[in-house]
């Protein structure tokens, strides 16, 4: 099993998207990339903790590749909006890839470069590609939030 961590706005819908992919064995929503130890949702929502809302994905690379996960990441949010996705704004909603190995970093950078060259977007891609940071699992009520409520997507 391997691990991937993505920030693409509100983590509820991002988790739901990744959870449905064949080869993804587990998902967890949480916070990473900030300075505050053991942040809560309330801390992260202040836009002062520095954390991003993220989804940590455990996947079987024999069933789904990291490149395929990157394709899902790029396709399910707008990587050109700085610290914003739809009506949600703040640094916690930034577009970010937290890589777990030099191979993941290389693949993430190559995929971003290819997407930039594709002409798909009129504006620059602002997605951060940074080393993994301490992952703090979000409160239990955030885990599989949409599934618990019987809905399949957020407002975006």
Active-site residue set: 10
**Inter-axis angle of helices 11-19 and 66-75, nearest 10:** 140
**Nearest residue to 58 (alpha-carbon basis) of 95, 92, 19:** 19
Q: What is the β-pairing status of strands 128-131 and 95-99?
A: parallel
Q: What is the DSSP letter of 90?
A: S
User: Measured between alpha carbons, how far is residue 11 from residues 31, 38, 77, 81, 102 in Å?
Assistant: 9, 17, 11, 16, 25
- CA dist 57 to 9, 113, 114, 119, 147, Å? 15, 23, 23, 29, 16
SS3 category, 57: strand
């Amino acid at each position: 099993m391997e691990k991937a961590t993505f920030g693409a706005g509100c983590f509820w819908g991002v988790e739901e998207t990744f959870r449905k992919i064949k080869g993804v064995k587990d998902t967890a929503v949480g916070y990473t990339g900030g300075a505050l130890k053991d942040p809560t949702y309330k801390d992260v929502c202040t836009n002062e903790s520095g954390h991003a809302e993220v989804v940590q994905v455990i996947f079987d690379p024999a069933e789904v590749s990291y490149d395929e996960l990157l394709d899902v990441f790029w396709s399910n949010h707008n990587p050109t909006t700085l610290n914003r996705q739809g009506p949600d704004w703040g640094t916690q909603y930034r577009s970010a890839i937290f890589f777990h190995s030099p191979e993941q970093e290389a693949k993430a950078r190559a995929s971003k470069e290819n997407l930039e060259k594709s002409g798909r977007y009129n504006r620059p891609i602002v997605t951060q590609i940074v080393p993994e940071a301490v992952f703090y699992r979000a409160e239990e009520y955030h885990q599989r939030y949409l599934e618990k409520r019987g809905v399949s997507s957020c407002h975006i």
